[in-house]
Amino acid sequence: PETRTFRIAAIPADGVGAEVVASGRAVLDALADASDGAFAFVWEEFPWGSDYYARTGKMMADDGLEQLKDFDAIYFGAVGWPTVPDHISLWGLRLRICQSFDQWANVRPVHFLPGITSPLRKADDTELDWVVVRENSEGEYAGLGGRNLSGRGPGGEVAVQSALFTEVGCERIIRFAFDLARTRTRRKVSSVTKSNAQQYGMVLWDDVFERVAADYPDVETESVLVDAMSAKFVLHPEDLSVVVASNLNADILSDLGSALAGSLGLAASANLNPERRFPSMFEPVHGSAPDIAGQGLANPIGAVGSAALMLDHFGLPDQAARLNEAIETITGAGVLTRDVGGSATTDEVTKALIDALNN
Ligand code: NAI
Ligand code: MG
């Protein structure tokens, strides 16, 4: 039989991005080597990020999107470094790719892994596993607004940052969440807004949620305000399955979720263009972690879990499951980086993952 080949654009970008992308690549290559020619990965690495910015004044090549558009997927590290203002690095690379390639669904599972202590006491004896679905194309990150730097005199600066909510944008992410809920043991969707205070966009979202929910009578629903949901993440996490929220709210909630699971370094994420008109992008939730970058301390599990989401996207769910099992095997065996209480290096975790895959 013919080898299925997947072309992947790797963009390690900044800080620990390089370390965790190298780890994920090594693990995926080991998986391909063990597949007896069933599938293979062909990588191309792009040098974009804050160093590239220092050299060129740009976060990525002018024709970067053109270079990326025919890949099967993008495997991303993290962007941001103290030498470049964060809004420039984020908008110049990651958000540019997400928005141009219409990666409107950001899927962020929250897995509780064996061998990793959660700050939640409940995690000791309750099965906890949920997924945050983040609207990834509009909302609070639409980039609408401006600053009036001088019009009102010294000290009188004014800034407006607007959020954009469209019925189409709300509907597609909410439907996506319902469809995802149907694939899970617990068929439930929790919608998160702040519609008591934000009475236009978030009320539109609530209305669409109610309308779409009627098409899924087999799925349980709830609507929760974001402040209450942050408390619920801590107090009643067993009551969650799929949590769907706007760009900013879901961004915050998914960091909370990964911290509850034990570390930001564990959390995986997929930026999907569900229509597959453009490549989707897979990346850990965490940033470039300048405080630990270059020291071999980075936890690669978020990046490796993102690689598992990429395998799912490639139509290789068995391989994704194998990878997730390997993650559970090594955390259960206590091969842990410092952020989750261990002393293993990034390379040691990578090697243990590859050994687990080959056993
Ligand atoms: P961060 O996620 O980089 O770090 C927060 C904390 O988590 C730090 O203590 C860090 O050491 C720890 N941490 C993060 N990833 C880890 C890993 N793999 N293993 C072990 N510990 C890990 O967030 P921070 O410090 O707010 O931002 C740093 C830079 O990253 C900024 O420039 C920011 O804009 C950027 N950033 C980029 C993101 C992206 O590319 N998707 C997401 C979030 C932040
Ligand atoms: Mg975030």
Per-residue pLDDT, 125? 76
Model confidence at 234, pLDDT cuts 50, 70, 90, reads very high
> Is residue 287 lining ligand 1, measured as CB closer than 6 Å?
yes
Selection from 317, 309, 319 nearest residue 268 by Cα? 309
What percent of the chain clears pLDDT 70, i.e. is strictly above it? Answer: 100
Q: How far is the CA of 39 from the centre of ligand 1 (A)?
A: 32
What's the longest Cα–Cα distance across the chain?
72
Nearest residue CA, atom 26 of ligand 1?
287
Domains, the chain, with CATH or none: 1-113+264-359 (3.40.718.10), 118-261 (3.40.718.10)
Q: Is the pLDDT of residue 1 over 80?
A: no
Write down the mean pLDDT value for the chain: 96
Model confidence pLDDT, tens digit, residues 153-171: 778 888 999 999 999 999 9
- Using most ligand atoms within 8 A of CB, pick from 76, 81, 264 the residue to mutate for ligand 1: 264
Model confidence pLDDT, tens digit, residues 13-42: 999 999 999 999 999 999 999 999 999 999
76 Cα nearest atom in ligand 1: 40
Q: At what angle do helices 317-332 and 346-357 cross, to 10 degrees?
A: 120
Mean pLDDT across the stretch 228-254?
Answer: 96
Cα–Cα distances (Å) from 193 to 25, 165, 190, 196, 317, in that order, read 37, 12, 10, 9, 32
CA angle 201, 228, 163 (to 5 degrees): 20
CA angle 241, 184, 99 (to 5 degrees): 70
Q: Cβ neighbours of residue 298 under 8 Å, at least 6 residues apart? A: 16, 19, 20, 265, 289, 292, 337, 346
Q: Is the pLDDT of residue 151 over 90?
A: no
Q: For residues 270 and 280, is the Cβ–Cβ distance under 8 A?
A: yes
The pTM of this model reads 0.96
> Is residue 292 lining ligand 1, measured as CB closer than 6 Å?
yes
Per-residue pLDDT, 332? 96
Nearest residue CA, atom 5 of ligand 1?
289
Model confidence pLDDT, tens digit, residues 204-222: 999 999 999 999 999 999 9
C-beta atoms surrounding 259 within 10 Å: 17
The token pair that represents 56 in the structure block: 């060129």
Quick check: helix, strand or coil at residue 161?
A: strand
Q: How far is the CA of 233 from the centre of ligand 1 (A)?
A: 21
Is 0.90 exceeded by the ipTM? yes
Residue where the block lists tokens 């056993």: 359
> Is residue 98 lining ligand 1, measured as CB closer than 6 Å?
no
Nearest residue CA, atom 43 of ligand 1?
287
> Is residue 299 lining ligand 1, measured as CB closer than 6 Å?
yes
What type of residue sits at position 97?
A: I
Model confidence at 275, pLDDT cuts 50, 70, 90, reads very high
Per-residue pLDDT, 154? 77
* Main-chain phi, psi angles of 220, to 5 degrees: -70, 145
Q: For residues 17 and 49, is the Cβ–Cβ distance under 8 A?
A: yes
Residue where the block lists tokens 């599938």: 39
Establish how many alpha carbons lie within 13 A of residue 319's alpha carbon, considering only the half-sphere containing its beta carbon: 24
Mean pLDDT across the stretch 255-264?
Answer: 94
The token pair that represents 24 in the structure block: 């994920």
d(CA 185, CA 179): 13
Mean pLDDT across the stretch 101-120?
Answer: 94
d(CA 314, CA 72): 8
Rg (CA), the chain: 20
d(CA 287, CA 12): 11
Model confidence at 149, pLDDT cuts 50, 70, 90, reads confident
Q: Is the pLDDT of residue 124 over 90?
A: no
C-beta atoms surrounding 98 within 10 Å: 24
